[in-house]
Amino acid sequence: MTKRRRRAARKQDKHERIMKFIEDGVFVIFDGVKIAKRGGDATWVSLEPGWQVFGGTESDLVIEYNGTRVQ
């Protein structure tokens, strides 16, 4: 994620987050960027630096960026 996109994401009050089932796995998409992929042991693997995802279902996802909860 570029600095410009991170800055824009921080300015928004409402962020879009989606858990999406795609042919090659389950992903968390945050403001249009794939930030995590579901690992084989039911954990989330970060795809972008600074992002962490916890939880099992879309309704209980916890998303953090550089240690700060964003949603």
Question: Which residue shows structure tokens 């960026």?
Answer: 65
pLDDT score, position 25: 87
pLDDT score, position 11: 53
Measured distance CA(45)–CA(48) in Å, rounded: 9
Task: Show me where the domains of the chain are located.
Answer: 3-69
pLDDT score, position 35: 93
pLDDT score, position 23: 76
pLDDT score, position 5: 63
All residue ranges of the chain with pLDDT < 50 are: none
Which residue, among 4, 66, 59, 11, has the nearest Cα to 35 in the 3D structure? Answer: 66
pTM above 0.75? no
pLDDT score, position 36: 93
- CA distances, 41 to each of 19, 37, 38, 45, 57 (Å): 17, 11, 8, 10, 15
Please classify residue 52 by burial: count the beta carbons closer than 10 Å to its beta carbon, then call 0-12 exposed, 13-18 middle and 19+ buried: middle
